[in-house]
Amino acid sequence: MSFSVGLVGGRGYVGEILLQLLLQHPTLDIAWVSSRSLKGRSVRSVYPALPLDLEFESFSPAEVAENGTDIVVLALPNGIAGDYVAAMNASQKVVDISADYRFEDSWAYGLPEHNRDAIRGSGRVANPGCYATTVQLALAPLIPALCGIPSAFGVSGYSGAGRTPSPRNDPERLSGNLLPYSLSGHLHELEVSHHLHQDVRFMPHVAEFFRGISVTISATLQEPVNETALQDRFSEFYANEHLIDITSEFPEVRDVVGKPGALIGGFTVDQRDTRRVCLVACLDNLLKGAASQALQNINLMLGVDELSGLGAAK
């Protein structure tokens, strides 16, 4: 059995990567790709590496609904998804990659490692943000043991800023540089705090590398711990998760680029106060931070193997 997929927003980095993943999926067929700025151009002319014989459409919300597919992926800037969602009928499943529905209780929050059952039964899934995914994966095993508010220091490659020119994706501005921004109240800080039911402090930065995320967590626990017990806690928590790997070493961005999962490690306990712990989580912002996570959600929504099309096995 095969399923049809339509993609709205094929111009961005995430749209391109998602098309790559969909093309290697055994049971998903790309029915159409919509991008207002690329209308009429062949997919091959824009992405020569993609063997996809389609032209970009420029579908309105009504046309997306009329060109019915089993599932629609919305890879649009924040604030645009609503008109498309309103036009679609209840039988059309939707994955929204923007932030528009991440706080909506009527939508399943698409972090499979924490919310798999809700995703399976949903026709509407909000894909998490890239930083939000990293921080939640790194903090979730600690939530019951936390004392106080944890902090997360994040560094992302500039692909996270998208293709529209800005200081955060300007190679000249970023050359030999590290650019902090939104150090309080960042959308992903609010997202993490909301879904973990735990206040979190998050400080994002962008670096001169293209893709990947590294987040360093600092937290205080209710009881003292040692590094072996801390790592064991994470290994047990993610023992059955094929896309989450635990290591005693410090994860590096280059370890995760091009891979559909996350790497958590570098478990450190402050010997001056053995309740204070630090750890590092890394993932590819275009994959587990966006496209491969979207494909996990699509698979769950359609009732196929969650890892289908990802080529991932632990």
DSSP one-letter string for 27-84: SEEEEEEE-GGGTT-BHHHH-TT-----BEE---HHHHHHS--SEEEE---TT-HHHH
Q: What is the pLDDT of residue 161?
A: 87
Check whether residue 252 and residue 122 sit in a common domain: no
Contact at 8 Å (CB) between 224 and 171? Answer: no
Contact at 8 Å (CB) between 15 and 9? Answer: yes
Check whether residue 139 and residue 123 sit in a common domain: no
Q: What is the pLDDT of residue 313?
A: 34
4-13, 85-94, 158-167, 225-234: least confidently modelled range: 158-167
pLDDT band of 109, cuts 50, 70, 90? very high
Give the structural domain span for 71.
Answer: 3-127+290-302
Check whether residue 104 and residue 190 sit in a common domain: no
Per-residue pLDDT at 12 exceeds 80: yes
Q: What is the pLDDT of residue 165?
A: 85
Q: What is the pLDDT of residue 167?
A: 87
Is residue 310 one of the residues assigned to a domain?
Answer: no
According to DSSP, the residues that pair with 43 across neighbouring strands are: none
CATH of the domain at 19: 3.40.50.720
Check whether residue 169 and residue 275 sit in a common domain: yes
Q: What is the mean pLDDT of the chain?
A: 95
**Structure-block tokens of residue 153:** 């220091």
Per-residue pLDDT at 86 exceeds 90: yes
Give yes or no: 130 in active site: yes
Instruction: Give the list of residues 6+ apart from residue 126 with CB closer than 8 angstroms, or none.
Output: 96, 99, 100, 101, 102, 104, 107, 108, 109, 110
167-176, 191-200, 279-288: least confidently modelled range: 167-176
Number of helices and strands in the chain (H, E): 10, 14
Higher pLDDT, 172 or 1: 172
pLDDT band of 312, cuts 50, 70, 90? very low
The single residue of 130, 147, 278, 282 carrying the catalytic annotation is 130
Q: What is the pLDDT of residue 120?
A: 97
Per-residue pLDDT at 314 exceeds 60: no
Q: CA-to-CA distance for 42 and 48, rounded, in angstroms?
A: 10
CATH of the domain at 201: 3.30.360.10
Per-residue pLDDT at 101 exceeds 70: yes
Q: What is the pLDDT of residue 90?
A: 85
Check whether residue 230 and residue 216 sit in a common domain: yes
The pLDDT tens digits of the residues spanning 122-177 come to: 999 999 999 999 999 999 999 999 999 999 999 999 999 888 888 899 889 999 99
- Compute the average pLDDT of residues 195-201: 98
Per-residue pLDDT at 306 exceeds 50: yes
